[in-house]
Amino acid sequence: MPQIAAPRGTRDILPDEFAARRWLLDAHSAVAESFGYRGIETPIIESSELFSRGVGTDTDIVEKQMFTFDDRGGRSLTLRPEGTAGSLRAVVGAHLDQEIRPVRVHYAGPFFRAERPQAGRQHQFTQVGIECIGESSPALDAEIIEVAWQFYKALGITGIQLQVNSLGSASDRVRYRAALVAYYTPLEASLCDDCRRRLHTNPLRLLDCKRDARFVEGAPLLWDSLDRPSRDHFTAVLRDLEAAGIEAIRNDRLVRGLDYYSDTVFEFWHDVLQGAQGSLGGGGRYDGLAELLGFPATPATGYALGVERTLMVARALGTIPQAPAAADVLVCSVEPAEADAAAGIARLIRAAGTRTVLDVAERRLDRKLRGAGRIGTRVAVIVGENEVAGDSAVVRDLDGHSQQTVPIAELAATVTRILGGAS
């Protein structure tokens, strides 16, 4: 029978990588919480409308990349392709923003997009993100960028490039759309099919088309369509970033692939990632999204960072800490007759807070001890006939290659002492 493999575009996370991810996820929670963000979790399946209305029907994500299916009652559900729409629905739906403003939340979890799988681009991937909901201050746009910046710093990742731009307000974009249509209409015959259609539905999307990138250079600049308040907002963000010591590169063409953004948008890039893999993460302000989802107008800003791509960069830079050994102590019996005594001793050492594995295999003692070396434990506790009779066990320091016979009552303390470095 053929063996069953993981579905295309998905990956198993094996123990060494699991440890690296936990290191990253813990760092993100710790940094976000140091800024007052609190954890949330939202469903992995959402009503498809959340994304068609929130992310936008003319975006690549909604048009081509969603895993959508009907439930048994014929309702259309989608595996979430991004976390902002769900987080906003959760926070505003529960009226959290009526108690405190802004509401600061962070999240981590799996997301799904049917993109062509390649390095750094999967069907199932992981994002960490934060959302700051209920206030429109530019200081909060700068704050969320600073959270991401501190997160990369906590991981030891240097060489991050931050690109920023402003999409302005809804009325700025109406002006800009008109300018784009005027520019692209004479080129219409040379555009790809997607762009020709989007020229009439959502011309902003033409700026992030990979196929028609050659036309982008001559396109009108968004900045020229921004009114005074929008420019002031963006200027304040740039000033706050500078004050925080964060170098920002202005990219006039940065529009991001989702419809819900307004004013500040940004992306993080790193040279380690090749062009096809894209950005490390990104985000921006999305003041119009709540209304698109049927909620009262609520200003908000946030980001999402790709966990797998961030780990690729951390791996290339050598900043991932070595995965810890599975356990610190291995307990084994010399003969099967002492197996119960060994199990009791393992329980005792574990109860004292030390990670302990019990070797239950029926094999020779020297092979069990070699196994301890492979697991990476530093101490072996051996129970033989004499030890059972004497209420004791042999404690072997596998690093120092010394051993001693210790009464059971002193076992846990002895093991702790050896692990603490003072044998």
Min dist CB 26 to ligand AMP, Å, is 19
Question: Containing H/E element for 109?
Answer: strand 103-112
Per DSSP, what are the bridge partners of residue 163?
249, 267
**Which 94-113 residues touch ligand AMP, going by CB under 6 A?**
113
Q: Does 355 bind ligand AMP (CB under 6 A)?
A: no
Binder of ligand AMP out of 203, 284, 306, 384 (CB under 6 A): 306
Min dist CB 253 to ligand AMP, Å, is 15
**Which 234-263 residues touch ligand AMP, going by CB under 6 A?**
257
Buried (b) or exposed (e) across 155-170, using 16+ Cβ within 10 A? bebeebebbbbbbbbe
Nearer to ligand AMP, 45 or 352 (CB): 45
Q: How many CB atoms lie within 10 A of CB 39?
A: 11
Taking residues 53 to 92 in sequence order and writing x for each that binds ligand AMP by CB under 6 A, - otherwise, the string is -----------------------------x----------
Q: Does 279 bind ligand AMP (CB under 6 A)?
A: yes
Question: Containing H/E element for 20?
Answer: helix 15-34
Cα→Cα distances 32→35, 245, 340, 374, Å: 5, 18, 47, 37
Phi, psi for residue 229 in degrees, rounded to 5: -60, -35
Question: Containing H/E element for 125?
Answer: strand 124-133
Q: Does 301 bind ligand AMP (CB under 6 A)?
A: no
Q: Does 127 bind ligand AMP (CB under 6 A)?
A: yes
Q: Does 122 bind ligand AMP (CB under 6 A)?
A: yes
Choose the binding region for ligand AMP from 163-171, 228-236, 304-312, 332-340 (rule: CB under 6 A).
304-312
The residue with its CB nearest to ligand AMP is 306
- Under DSSP, is residue 187 helix (H, G, I), strand (E, B) or coil? helix
Nearer to ligand AMP, 108 or 395 (CB): 108
| Rounded Cα gap, residues 83 and 338, in angstroms | 54
Please say whether the beta carbons of 63 and 198 come within 8 A: no
Min dist CB 337 to ligand AMP, Å, is 54
Q: Does 115 bind ligand AMP (CB under 6 A)?
A: yes
| Rounded Cα gap, residues 226 and 229, in angstroms | 8
Q: How many residues bind ligand AMP (CB under 6 A)?
A: 18
Binding residues for ligand AMP, rule: CB under 6 A, are: 82, 113, 115, 120-122, 125, 127, 257, 278-282, 304, 306, 308-309
